[in-house]
Structure 1
Amino acid sequence: IGDSHDPMVLAVPGDIGQPGVGRRLVDATLERFGRVDTIVNNAGIFVAKPFTEYTDEDYDAVTGVNQRGFFELTRAGIAAIESHGEGGHVVTISTSLVDHANSQVPSVLASLTKGGLNAATKALAVEYGSRGIRANAVALGIIRTPMHAPETLGFLSALHPIGHLGDIDDVVNAVLYLEQAGFVTGEVLHVDGGQSAGH
Structure 2
Amino acid sequence: MSGFRVEDEYDYLFKLVLIGDSGVGKSNLLSRFTKNEFNLESKSTIGVEFATRTLRIDGKVIKAQIWDTAGQERYRAITSAYYRGAVGALLVYDVTRRATFENAVRWLKELRDHTDPNTVVMLIGNKSDLRHLVAVSTEDGRQLAERESLYFMETSALEATNVDNAFTEVLAQIHHIVSSRKAVEATDENAAHSVPSRGETIDVKDDSSAWKRYGCCSS
TM-score range, shorter chain: 0.3 to 0.5
TM-score, scaled relative to structure 1: 0.48
Q: More strand per residue: 1 or 2?
A: 2
TM-score, scaled relative to structure 2: 0.44
